[in-house]
Structure 1
Amino acid sequence: MGAELPDYYFRIRENGAAVFRVDTENRQRRIEMDQVAVVNVRNGEVKPHGDRTLTDEDIDAIQNWLNDRVALLARRDIDDIHRAVDHLNLTTQWVQSKASDEDLESVTDPLLLAMHDLRTVLVRKKADRLLRDSDTSD
């Protein structure tokens, strides 16, 4: 490997990551990864691995990764929503121009229910925001 390796490696898991300290300063010049902690992205909890005590450097690296990861996941969430809008538009075009009667029979009810559910939640949230905004401007 030509590039300098980072001091920490984060193995992504469902709700966070396993944190490893990367070591290349050994006699065999092998890459060794020593697990130091587990991080939960949802609640920010950091659990040292085994009976370890995390150093200030460990905690700083983990906190920086956690902040970056939370920001990345938030950007992905909004990007997914923008993609959903695109998919709804593409679905509309497909329904109008390509869908067979059999295709429409298989997707109409699930789509209508999902769109009704989404519309209901969006309208309620919009009303809540409007009420909150009008309360703060009074």
Structure 2
Amino acid sequence: MAADLPDYYFRIRDNGAVVFKLDTENRQRRWDMEEIAVVNVKNGSIKPHGDRALSPAETALITSWIAERREVLASRDIDDILRTVDHLNLTTQWAQTRASEEQLDLVANHLLLAMHDLRTVLVRKRSENLRRQMEAGAEQTKEA
């Protein structure tokens, strides 16, 4: 079983992880976990634990983990948004076919405000992107 364990363990926490080095080759044959660093995925910071100095191999491993973790979190964000679209469609169907007047009264204002806020942000962001694309196209035309 000990041969199946990785050399390092990343305990996920908000915005990152605590990194442990695993030791299974000790006299008691227990799994010892030595905390070696704290990682922040958002800003990429790696803070060694205590007075410990990370080896270049450990730093490379942690940096690689940060990149992989960012990819996982980004794919989860997109999946969450697509699930939200599904929930909006299911909510629309519920409102149209099964919701009572009392139920609609409970949720209508909350939904309308949230959807209005989302629509405002989406329209603004799309408009900004279109403007940037048009400006970039104009610059390319001038250069040609």
Q: What TM-score do the two structures reach when normalised by structure 2?
A: 0.93
- What fraction of aligned residue pairs are identical, expressed as a percent? 61
Report deviation, 1:58: 1.1
SS in 2 for 1:51: coil
Report deviation, 1:107: 0.3
Runs of at least 5 residues in structure 2 that lack an aligned partner in the other structure: 139-144
What amino acid does structure 1 have at the position aligned with 2:60? D
Q: Does 1:95 align with 2:79?
A: no
Aligned pairs for 1:63-102 within 5 A: 63-102=63-102
Report deviation, 1:3: 5.4
What is the number of equivalent residue pairs in this alignment?
A: 138
What is the match of residue 17 of structure 1?
17
Structure 1: 4+ residue segments shifted above 2 A: none
What amino acid does structure 1 have at the position aligned with 2:53? T
State how far apart, in whole Å, the 1-side matches of 2:33 and 2:58 are.
Answer: 14
What is the match of residue 122 of structure 2?
122
What amino acid does structure 2 have at the position aligned with 1:24? T
Q: What TM-score do the two structures reach when normalised by structure 1?
A: 0.97
SS in 1 for 2:4: coil
Answer yes or no: is the 8 Å Cα contact 2:2–2:24 preserved in 1: no
SS in 2 for 1:12: strand
Q: Does 1:111 align with 2:102?
A: no
What is the match of residue 35 of structure 2?
35
1:21-71 deviations in whole A, cap 9, x for unaligned? 011111222111100000011111110001110111210111111111011
RMSD of aligned C-alpha atoms?
A: 1.0
Judging changes above 3 Å, is the alpha-carbon distance between structure 1 residues 2 and 51 closer, same or farther for their aligned structure 2 residues?
closer
